[in-house]
Amino acid sequence: MPRILIVAPNWIGDTLLAQPLFASLHRRLPGVILDALAPDWTAPIMQRMPEISAVSRTQFRHGELRLKDRWRLGRELKQQGYDQAIVLPNSFKSALIPFFADIPLRVGYVGESRYGLLNVVHKLDAKRLPLMADRYAQLAEVPGKPVESQLEATRLRVDHANLLITVARLGLDRSRPVVAFCPGAEYGPAKRWPVRHFAALAGHLAARGMTVWLIGSDKDRAIGEEIAALATLAEGRVINLCGHTDLTAAIDLLSAAQLVVSNDSGLMHVAAALGRPLIALYGSSSAEHTPPLTGDGPPARLVQFEGLECRPCFKRECPLGHFRCMNDLTAESVLREIAAIDSEQFALRSE
Ligand code: SF4
C-alpha cells in the first residue's frame, strides 16, 4: 500500500484548495495512505479531512530556516518509509524535510529553484491553470500532462461533541437562527469588507430575528469589537467570538450557522467545506482564482465589484487609496444576495 507524505501549505485557504488533489490520489491509488506535515496553524484543517490519515505538526514560523531541526525531523520521518512526498508550498525550505527523510519520489513545482531537492519537478503554467485548486491537482499528474479541471467540493468533518462543549463554554444562545460573519483576512486590509458595512448588515439581520456570531482569530479581535460597537441597531445580537476560539472550535461553530458571510479568507473556504450557504466577499482578490469549492452543495454567492478597472490587484493594501472594490459593496447589496439564497431551503427565517 503506497504511503505519501503531503507537505501542507502555510495558509488555511490553500490547504482546503489542495483537497481535490488528495481526493484524486485516493481515486488513482486505492488504499493509499496520505499523511501530512503541517504547520501548527493549518494542522486542524488537515486533521478534519477524511482523506488524511495522520498529521505531524511543525513549529516553524514563517520564514524560519532552522536547518538542524528540519534535518532532525527528516531523519525521524525516514522511519515511516514513505514512498513519495508531495510538497505544496513553493519555498526552498519546505522541500528540505522530504529530502532529509530520503523519500524516493519528491514531487512539487520548481518554486525557489528546488532542482535536486525535488526529483519530479513541475513547471507552473499560470495562464493555463488560473485556479489554485487545479494547480495543486496538477501534482498528481506526470509533469507536462494537463490536469482535467474537476473543482470538486471540499469537505471537513464536524466534531459535534466539541461543538456542544464550545457553545456551552461561550454561553451561546442557539434559539434563533445564526449567521456567522468572518470579518478578518490574514492577507491584508485590501481583502476586508469595511467594519461599518458588516455592522450595517448585522443590524438588518438582527431586525429579522437572527443572531450574528463574529468568528476569527485573535488578530481579528479588534475588528470584531468595532463591528459589535457599531452595530447599534442589532440590539445586542452581535456576539464577538474573534479570539475566543481556536481553529478547531471555529470550524465546529461555523458548522452550526445557517448562513456565513465572509471575506475571501481561510474561514470562507472552511465554511464552503462545511456545506454552509455562503456569501463570499472579494476585494483586491478574485473569485476566478480562489473560488470556494462547494460542488453540488448549498449555494455560494460570490460578491465582487464587477467592472472596476483596477480589480483584481491582489495587493494587501489598496494602492490607490480609495478602496472602491470594497467600500462600494454596500450592506444593502449584500442583503440582496442573501435574499437570493432560498430562505426556506436553508432555514433562514424572519420574526
Ligand atoms: S486598487 Fe482597486 S482592486 Fe486594488 S484594493 Fe484598490 S480598489 Fe481594490
Q: Ligand 1 test: best mutation among 318, 328, 329, most atoms within 8 Å of CB?
A: 318
Q: Ligand 1: does its nearest atom lie under 6 Å from the Cβ of 200?
A: no
pTM of the model: 0.93
The pLDDT value given to residue 165: 98
Residues 6+ apart with CB under 8 A from 234: 199, 202, 203, 205, 206, 212
Q: Edge-to-edge strands of the sheet including 278-282?
A: 238-240, 211-214, 178-182, 259-263, 278-282, 300-304
- Amino acid identity of residue 325, one-letter, is C
H and E: helices and strands count for the chain: 13, 12
Is residue 4 within 8 Å of 84, Cβ to Cβ? yes
Residue to mutate (ligand 1; options 311, 317, 327; most atoms within 8 A of CB): 311
Position 250 scores a pLDDT of: 98
Kindly indicate the confidence band of residue 343, based on its pLDDT and cuts at 50, 70 and 90: low
- pLDDT reported for residue 342: 58
What is the tens place of the pLDDT at every residue in 240-279? Answer: 999 999 999 999 999 999 999 999 999 999 999 999 999 9
Q: Find out whether the beta carbon of 190 lies less than 6 Å from any atom of ligand 1.
A: yes
CA dihedral 285, 290, 295, 298 (to 10 degrees): -30
Dihedral of the alpha carbons of 290, 293, 296, 297, in degrees to the nearest 10: -120
Mean pLDDT of 293-307: 85
Q: Which atom of ligand 1 lies nearest, measured to the CA of 284?
A: 3
The dihedral sign for the CA sequence 313, 315, 317, 319: negative
- Give, as one character, the DSSP assignment of residue 138: G
- Cβ atoms of 328 and 306 within 8 Å: the answer is no
Compute the distance from residue 3 Cα to the ligand 1 centre, in Å: 44
Please report where in the chains the cell 462547494 appears, as a residue: 294
Taking the CA of residue 190 as reference, the ligand 1 atom at the shortest distance is 5
Q: 3-140 with 160-340: one CATH topology?
A: yes
Domain boundaries of the chain, sorted by first residue: 3-140, 160-340
Q: What is the pLDDT of residue 344?
A: 45
- The SS3 call for residue 175 is coil
Provide the β-strand partners of residue 262. 182, 280
- Convert the pLDDT of each residue in 51-102 to its tens digit: 999 999 998 887 788 899 999 999 999 999 999 999 999 999 999 999 999 9
Q: Decide if domain 160-340 falls under CATH 3.40.50.2000.
A: yes
Please count the other Cβ atoms lying within 10 Å of the Cβ belonging to residue 268.
30
Judged against a pLDDT cut of 80, whether residue 150 lies above it is answered with: no
313 lines ligand 1 (CB under 6 A): yes
| Pocket lining: 29 vs ligand 1, CB cutoff 6 Å | no
The best mutation among 306, 322, 324, 326 to test binding of ligand 1, ranked by most ligand atoms within 8 Å of the C-beta, falls on: 324
Which helix (H) or strand (E) segment holds residue 263: the answer is strand 259-263
Cell of 17: 484548495
Give the best-scoring range by mean pLDDT among 107-121, 249-263, 285-299: 249-263
CA-308 nearest atom, ligand 1: 2
Each residue's pLDDT tens digit, 42-51: 999 999 999 9
Its CATH class, for the domain covering 3-140, is: alpha beta
Centre of ligand 1 to C-alpha 286, Å, is 11
